[in-house]
Structure 1
Amino acid sequence: MRKVVMNKHNNLLQLEEHFYQLVDVDEPNTFRNLFPYEEIPKIAFNDRIVPHNMPDDIWITDTTFRDGQQSRAPYTTDQIVTIYDYLHKLGGPKGIIRQSEFFLYSKKDRDAVYKCMERGYKFPEVTSWIRASKQDFELVKDIGLRETGILVSCSDYHIFYKMKMTRREAMNHYLSVIRECLETGISPRCHLEDITRSDIYGFVIPFCVELMKLMDEYKIPIKVRACDTMGYGVNFPGAVIPRSVPGIIYGLTTHAGVPSELIEWHGHNDFYKAVTNSTTAWLYGACGVNCSLFGIGERTGNTPLEAMVFEYAQLKGTLDGMDTTVITDLVDYFEKDLDYTLPSRTPFAGKNFNVTRAGIHADGLLKNEEIYNIFDTEKFLKRPALVSISNTSGLAGIAHWINSYYRLPQERHLDKNSELVHKLKDWVDEQYDEGRVTVLTDNELVVKITECCKELGIIL
């Protein structure tokens, strides 16, 4: 008979959950009903709803130097240290950016780890990602790290097709490797690769139950990172597993007994859902979401770290000391020092994320910035709302551009009735009447405004 127990988080009585055992199979379960390779993947529903269960504390972990570095030219040691300094400042005194993971394969990687550790920051804690071998475990220990990531692929696609094993063979192999890690005193972080195509109750949950047994035996934390490797996860209530993010997190916490503080979500953006799925993981019981700066990562990228900073603030009602102006500092560093240009419309970071070209929007900005700006972007990102000047900008757009570019105090703001604004508008119209199709550059506008000011005897 199943026992009735008290859920300490929601103070409700519930039935003790069923114990799930490994389901060994002769043939891989590839969920062809959901993932027909010659068709677009399917999102199916069974309308089984699981409750929200957001932990009291949630945080961000960083993979800029691991997954993020797999999709671009490797960072130099000095570049890694500089970015790590920025992450420390961005995360604030409470360490909302809790950890950052590093490769240990090369001397350059290890040099970066040593230099970052020498900074003496409590947060982000330096962690590693290694091959699952005794030699690498000893390397982690010798360097002085207390935690490392280990790849434990969990879908039958990987177990059968890549590893050429059965589920039981894979589980036994993983558990032996994790035991070796624990024997060295290192805390393993198990990266459950391809979890959104895995048999959640036939493999993932039974495997995590065994991990919790090892944790009880060795008294060393074992983290579980749920990796949406292909971006198949969905946040919709009632969607079926393995694509359901709520269902996966609920299974890990309720059926496998993994504490929320030991669960991370690692998302990819193949279907434009990385941010939403990461937020959903928080809402349903994961304390950590794993991100990379500006989403730089494999294929379409990882969950952008800067996005989750603002998701955190929206969910918690506070930034908890995070310094969001550092995001703009990082953009400048990537563009000037790393020669990496972000797409111009990237939220919070792209050069045009709060720039409007539409005249009607510019008119609204001129009257009250709140009408068309998402929040005080100058306060939080050192990025005032701007307009670009084109054939659609109108008088209001030109007035707003002059006020913003020249940082005119409120009492000197020009409006759309200004003689200077009208003179500049006539010139802009001429440009496009003559066949121009591109936006006017700041330099072109400054040259023309200087000329017009001399004609009108105006000093800005």
Structure 2
Amino acid sequence: MLETSEKTNLLEQASYKYSLQDVAEPNLYRDIYDYESVPKVAFNHRRVPMNMPTDVWITDTSFRDGQQSMAPYSVKQIVDLYKLLSKLGGPYGIIRQSEFFAYTKKDVEAIEKCMDLGLKFPEITTWIRANKEDFKMVKKLGIRETGILVSCSDYHIFKKMKMTRRQAVDYYLETIRSAFDAGVVPRCHLEDITRADFYGFVVPFVNEIMDLSNEAGIPVKIRACDTMGYGIPFSEVALPRSVPGIIYGLQHYAGVPSEYLEWHGHNDFYKSVTNASTAWLYGACAVNCSMLGIGERTGNVPLEAMVFEYASLRGSLDGMDPTVITEIARYFQDEMGYDIPPMTPFVGENFNVTRAGIHADGLMKDEEIYNIFNTKKLLNRAPGVVISKTSGASGIAYWINEHFALEGEDEIQKDDPLVLKMKEWVDEMYADGRTTSLSKGEIMDKIRELTGGQMPSKSVTAREEQK
């Protein structure tokens, strides 16, 4: 049968209908995942069209997937971070939703306190056990949407659940009916989709979900979960690892509208951010993230990364306030005792810090030479340097100017007497066998010694020499 597509305005075949393949043995894709070697990337040279939706957004799982990977957050910490999320997402709700556990009294208290704030965004959603009592509890709280687990690879269906594919589908559909009966929008988490039989299980299963949704008159969300980080963003990669193929297939063959399609990835192979962006580009409105990327194993898609991916792809932050990213990072460090790896983009201690003297010399002449963008404006973090054996006079001068906020005429140069004395001291330290960089406290103490306790400025260094 031919139908005119509303998206392309072209006649397209609409007769594709995939039936559930209730196989006797699991399809574990052993040619790709043999477990004894690195998973392979297979190509079939099939392309699907790029189809970015009119609106795309970010959803958050910091209080669900993120919280599974740390000590449980206190109610106060959840409320504080939720407020920061709202501030970061801005008035248009680019950070559209935030996902909470709803298992314990503490979980419910945190949800209620966040709801009492009256913030429009992010909308509070939940993750619950698949039973009727939990659905009723969510409804009573006034939650509109909740996540439920519908694992879709044969690794889970056969090995963990000990079911056939048909038994799994029937079990899942009964759970989804319970959500509809409670008047709650179910968000179906298609766990392990990058190891699933896409046309033999995923598409026919999602077709049944969509039929049930139409029958109930209640929408359903479909979250494609790259649970093990196996997703590949490249064009022409074969399923089940192809991110473009998964998103296209869920739209084109399972009938999931973009606004109900969401990507949830992990970073096991360093591809979480690229895969999330690819999901946007090929038709998913939502990408699911966590603050600082905290999550299972190697973590989830870092929310702060997708803020900048959004701005890169759309050409605008659309009301988001990225300086809040620095506030969030400091909160995790200062209030929660979380150690952020220093090289982490946007939030790590060293992300815009250089140790090389030649780089520091460039920063002094024009910070744009060695800084990725105006980090002072966008993240409230000026570029910095670390003093070590490779810093040279330029690095020392830059460090002093940065830490004492010396600008314009007050800036000191690399030939300043204070800088030259400091360089002498630094060189001596490393000549004696030191291998680590100098701490802020050590540098400050030496500056006080050399200046007699006076704050460094041109008025007490170079200007005095000029007299």
Provide closer, same or farther for how the CA distance between residues 425 and 17 of structure 1 changes in structure 2, counting only shifts above 3 A. farther
Is the 1:212–1:222 Cα contact (8 Å) retained in structure 2?
yes
1:331 aligns with 2:329: yes
Post-superposition CA distance 1:368-404 (Å, at most 9, x none)? 1001001010111111000001000111111111111
For residues 94 and 164 of structure 2, what CA distance do their matches in structure 1 show? 40
TM-superposed CA distance for 1:139, in Å, is 1.0
The one-letter amino acid of 2:171's match is: H
Pair 1:138-2:136 in alignment: yes
**What secondary structure, in the 3-state scheme, does the structure 2 residue paired with 1:264 have?**
strand
Question: Cα RMSD between the aligned structures?
Answer: 1.4
Deviation at 1:267, TM superposition (A): 0.4
Partner of 1:256: 254
Percent same amino acid at aligned positions? Answer: 62
Pick from 59, 62, 66 the counterpart of residue 60 of structure 2: 62
The letter for the 2-side match of 1:415 is Q
| Counterpart position of 2:464 | none
Structure 1 residue matching 2:92: 3-state secondary structure: coil
* Structure 1 residues 38-53: aligned runs within 5 Å: 38-53=36-51
In structure 1, stretches of 5+ residues that fail to align are none
Aligned residue number for residue 459 of structure 1: 460
Q: Name the CA distance, whole Å, in 1 between partners of 2:42 and 2:330.
A: 43
Contact 1:17–1:254 (Cα < 8 Å) also in 2: no
Whichever residue aligns with residue 47 of structure 2, its letter is I
Which residue number in structure 2 is paired with residue 340 of structure 1? 338
Cα distance in 2, alignment partners of residues 275 and 197 from structure 1: 19
TM-superposed deviation, 1:458: 5.2
Shift of 1:161: 0.7
Partner deviation per Cα, 1:309-368 (whole Å, 9 max, x = no partner): 111010000011111111111111111111111011110001111000011111111111
Partner AA of 2:382 in structure 1: P
1:102 partner SS: strand
2:31 match: 33
Residue ranges of structure 2 left out of the alignment (5+ in a row) = 462-467
* Equivalences for residues 350-369 of structure 1 within 5 A: 350-369=348-367
Farther-moved stretch of structure 1 (420-429 vs 261-270)? 420-429
Counterpart CA distance in 1 for 2:218 and 2:445 is 66
TM-score normalized by the length of structure 2:
0.96
Structure 2: distance between partners of 1:186 and 1:25: 33
Candidates 295, 313, 317, aligned match of 1:315: 313
Q: Secondary structure at the match of 2:86?
A: helix
d(CA) in 2 for partners of 1:399, 1:129: 52
1:399–1:414 CA contact under 8 A, matched in 2: yes
Aligned equivalent of 2:237: 239
1:172 aligned onto 2:170? yes
- Cα deviation for residue 8 of structure 1 reads 2.8
List aligned pairs for 1:75-224, cutoff 5 A: 75-224=73-222
Q: Provide the secondary structure at the position in 2 that maps to 1:227.
A: strand
2-side partners of 1:375 and 1:339: how far apart? 29
8 Å CA contact 1:262–1:287 kept in 2: the answer is: yes
SS at match of 1:64: strand
Distance 1:247 1:385, change over 3 A: same
Structure 2: how far apart are the matches of 1:258 and 1:338?
39
Is the contact between residue 17 and residue 255 of structure 1 (CA under 8 Å) also seen in structure 2? Answer: no
Q: Equivalents in 2 of 1:200, 1:339: separation in Å?
A: 42
Moved more, 209-218 or 41-50: 209-218
Change (3 A) 1:408 1:11: farther
For 2:146, what is the secondary structure of its paired residue?
strand
Give the whole-Å Cα distance in 1 for the aligned partners of 2:5 and 2:372: 39
Partner residue, 1:291: 289
Q: Is the 8 A contact 1:47 1:239 kept in 2?
A: yes
The count of corresponding residues between Structure 1 and Structure 2 is 458
**What TM-score, normalized by structure 1, do the two folds share?**
0.97
Between stretches 450-459 and 432-441, larger displacement belongs to: 450-459
What SS is found at the alignment partner of 2:202?
A: helix
User: 366, 369, 373: which one pairs with 1:371?
Assistant: 369
